[in-house]
Structures are given as structure tokens and as C-alpha cells.
Amino acid sequence: MNPQDPIPKVVKVSYFRLTLAALASGLVNAFNTNKTSWVGLGLFLFICLMALLAPTIAPHDPLDQNIFDRLQGPSAKYWMGTDAYGRDILSRILYGSQISLIIGLVSISTALVIGTIIGLVAGYVGGKTDIIVMQVMDVLLAFPSLILGLIVVAMLGPSISNLIIAISLTAIPPFARIARAPTIVVKEREFIEAGRALGYSNLRLMGGHILPNILPEVLVMGFLWLATAIRVEASLAFIGLGVSPPTATWGGMIREGFENILDSFWLAFFPSIAILSVVFALNLLGDGLRDAIDPRLKGET
């Protein structure tokens, strides 16, 4: 290059858009490889739609007590029957889905961001930091998440935000682990070497060049852990540590229904089916995507 030549224009690359584009094409490929993930996605989106439309489509107010209609079986007026306070089960399930989805989505997004950063940095920095950080994560991973969630919620008190804190805390280690594994592979690749030679900062290399490569795996993990988060939230509510009544939560409804299981089975039955469908849909979705991304893991949990 001649010293007189104009300095070439630096092409500004939007890493965000690059990442998004890579992700979108990767996801569509993954979906097409394993068709069952489309079924899972469809079912999950349907449940999300029901949650969003709950105020419009719910036939009754979920908190409306009707003392003359208590403990009624499924009928034309109450499709899924009523509970001990005469509240409509169907409406409560519809509104309960909002709680499950909000707690699940927010806690898993939080855990995903924090866990990915921890794993990315640990893998990138390597050495002792890596060993110590990952050891701590492995240890936390071994601890039963329900017990940890239980203790945290018991200390903080049951509210939506505390449940989110408790569940994200238990979900950080798996994301750190899943983010670290590909990071230590990718960081040895030539383009990272090249970036380093060009004097890119570590932050730029991690955020702009390694992150887009590990994001698909992290996101697939996100779907599977969303399923777990919804299951844990329901379990905590069943134990009595959910969002306080009278707010409708699926776990709480099963807890109440369980008290009347001898004569009014529908109380516990319909919310059970609701939980089962959303968790199953997410597992179907995440499982298929993971098979597509990593064929070696086919069928493994």
C-alpha cells in the first residue's frame, strides 16, 4: 500500500445484527432437522397466546367467588368446574398461565444472561479462574434446585420477584457450564487469533466474536430450562411457597384441589394437565433443537 493512498474506510459491522442473522438461520435449520420441535413450538405459542388473551377469553373473573356454585363438576356454564370458593377453574387456569410464564421467562432470561457471562469469561480467561469458577458452578449444580429455591423463597417471602430471584439463582450454573464448553474451543480458532493480532480488546473478542458462536447452544438450553423453571415454580406453589392466594397459580390450584381430591377430582386434574402440556411442549421444542444442533447428543437428556 502506498503511503499516498487514502486510508481504506473501516466497514462498521453491527455485531448485534450479525448475531441475530446467524441465529435466525441456525434456528430455522434446526427446526427443519427435527420436525417435532415445530410441534413443541406450536403448542408453546398456543399456550402463550392463551395467557395473553386471558382477560378477553376467560369466561369468568378468576377471583370471582360464587358461593352457590361451589365445587361444581364440569358443565356448560363452568367448562372445567368450580373450586371450593365457587371460582371458575378454566378462568383460573388461563390467568395462572400468565404467572407461570412470566416467572419462567424472566428468571430464565436473567439466569441465561448472568450464566453465559460467567461461563464465557471463565472459559476465555482460563487458568485458575476458570477452574475455581467452574468448580463452584458444578457444586451448585449438584445441589437440588428445588431445595435451594425453597430455602431462598422461605427467607425472602413468596412474591413474584422473589420467586424469580430464587429460580434464576438455581439456573445460573447450567448456563455457565453450557457457555464455557464451546468458548474454550472457539477461543483457539484462527479468527480470534486474528482479532487479537489486530489489537481487539478482550471484551470485543468475547462479545463480538465468541458470543455469536455459542449463542445457539445457550438458547436451546434456555428452552429446556424454561421447562424446568415452570416446573419448579409450580412445585414451590404446590408446597405453599407460590405467589400468595387468591392469585391463581397452577401449583397453588393443585394444592387446593388436592384437599378435595376424594370428591372433586377436576380441581387438581385440569391444572395438572396444564402444567404437563406447557412443560412437555418446551421439552419437545428444546430437545428437538438440541438434537439438530448437536447430533452426537441425540436423545440424551
Partner 1 sequence: MSGFVLKRLGFAVITLIAVLTIVFFIVRILPGDPAMVILGDQASQQSIDLLRKRLGLDRPMIVQYFDFMSGVAIGDWGVSMVSGRPVISEVLKVLPATLELTFAALILGAVIGVPLGVWAAISRNTIVDYLLRLASLLGLSSPAFVSAVLLLFAFAIYLPWFPVISSGRGTSLGARMNDLALPAINLGLIMAAYITRVARSAMLEVLGQDYVRTAKAKGISFFAIIVRHCLRNTMIPVVTVVGLYLGILIGNSVLTEIVFNRPGLGRLIVGALFQRDYTMLQGMMVIYTLLVVVVNLLTDLTYGLIDPRIKYS
Cα(264)–Cα(127) distance, integer angstroms: 60
Alpha-carbon dihedral angle through residues 293, 139, 126, 206, given to the nearest 10 degrees: 50
- Quick one: cell of 220? 436451546
C-beta closer to partner 1: residue 153 or 179: 153
Q: CB of 198: closest distance to partner 1 in angstroms?
A: 40
Q: CB of 112: closest distance to partner 1 in angstroms?
A: 20
209-228: which residues touch partner 1 (CB under 8 A)? 227
Which candidate, 39, 36, 43, 38, places its Cα nearest to that of 298? 36
Q: CB of 131: closest distance to partner 1 in angstroms?
A: 12
Is residue 115 within 8 Å of 175, Cβ to Cβ?
yes
The mark string for 269-288 relative to partner 1 (x by CB under 8 A, - otherwise) is x--x--xx--xx--xx--x-
Interacting span for partner 1 (CB under 8 A) from 19-27, 42-50, 154-162, 199-207:
154-162
Q: CB of 297: closest distance to partner 1 in angstroms?
A: 7
Q: CB of 104: closest distance to partner 1 in angstroms?
A: 13
Q: Give the one residue of 117, 150, 200, 260 binding partner 1; rule: CB under 8 A.
A: 150
Q: Give the one residue of 254, 289, 292, 293 binding partner 1; rule: CB under 8 A.
A: 254
For the chain, where are the alpha helices, taking DSSP H only?
15-33, 36-57, 89-125, 127-142, 145-156, 160-186, 190-197, 202-204, 211-239, 250-259, 266-293
DSSP assignment of 192-214:
HHHHHHTT--HHHIIIIIIHHHH
Is residue 156 within 8 Å of 162, Cβ to Cβ?
yes
Binding region for partner 1 (CB under 8 A)? 135-136, 139-148, 150-152, 154-157, 165, 169, 227, 231-232, 234-235, 238-241, 251, 254, 258, 261-262, 265, 268-269, 272, 275-276, 279-280, 283-284, 287, 297-301
